Amino acid sequence: MSDHTTFKTCTQCGESKPATPEYFNRAKESRDGLRHQCRTCRSAIMKAWRRSNPEQVSEYDRRYYSENKERAREVARRRYAKHNEQMREYHKKWSKENRDKANLNARLRHARKSARVHAFSEKDWQFALDYFGGCCAVCGRPPGLFHTLAMDHWIPIAASDCPGTIPTNIVPLCHGENGCNNKKQSRDAEEWLVKEFGKRRGRQLAAKIQEFFTLLGGKR
């Protein structure tokens, strides 16, 4: 590192770090053009705020998406690509270190996939998005800076009765911190809804999703 590097002290953690965008987010209103907190602290602060203010986050996402649709879609595509690359590297490393388990898992996964139907097109996905207004089918959150929309298997792939990747088993769920897709994972959908939202609201949401699937069943 050059002897002429300028350092900046984070007002949150007290550490001195290079005064560059690599360590501090940009801030136009600041004299040096950088935020007072380092990136690590700023990220922790924002995560805590999002957890404490879910309604404000949802409203911000909704407004941001409305005003920046193309940018939001591009951000979502980049995040999706980055996540996929990270997961590929993780699984590649894990498979090398656990060859026997990896081979067994591969055989089981192939057997499950072979028994499932895969008949879901981009047109099907667009119909689902339009039906739910471009938002999460469960909580109504739109995609934005903090969340994207994931294609969720309502009956999980891991379940023995999963019909596969078909229109009557795919719904858009928000994916991100505390996202519905993240919390549901491979759980039974109705049980998860009741636990997450309470018996009455959970069953109402389950009925709403079923109405969508019933509509699709009538169309096919």
Q: What is the mean pLDDT of residues 115-140?
A: 83
Task: List Cα–Cα distances, 162 to 63, 116, 165, 210, in angstroms.
Answer: 36, 7, 9, 15
Would you give the DSSP letter of residue 119?
Answer: -
Measured over the CA atoms of residue 174, residue 180, residue 183 and residue 184, the dihedral's sign is negative
pLDDT band at 11 (very low <50, low <70, confident <90, very high): very high
Q: Are strands 164-165 and 117-118 parallel, antiparallel or unpaired?
A: parallel
Place of tokens 């069943």: 217
Task: List Cα–Cα distances, 145 to 36, 57, 75, 173, in angstroms.
Answer: 22, 10, 7, 15
Kindly state the tokens that stand for 145. 């800076």
Q: Mean pLDDT across the chain, nearest whole number?
A: 80
Name, in order, each residue with C-beta under 8 angstroms of 133's C-beta and a sequence gap of 6 or more: 140
Predicted pLDDT at 115: 45
Least confident of 37-46, 85-94, 204-213: 85-94
Percent of residues in the chain assigned helix, strand, coil, to nearest 5: 55, 10, 35
Q: How far apart are CA 22 and CA 9, in angstroms?
A: 14
Q: What is the mean pLDDT of residues 14-32?
A: 91
pLDDT band at 12 (very low <50, low <70, confident <90, very high): very high
* Exposure b/e, 97-130, CB count within 10 A at least 16 = b: eeeeeeeeeeeeeeeeeeebeeebeeebeebbbe
Predicted pLDDT at 143: 83
Q: Which of 138, 127, 102 is nearest to 219 (CA)?
A: 127
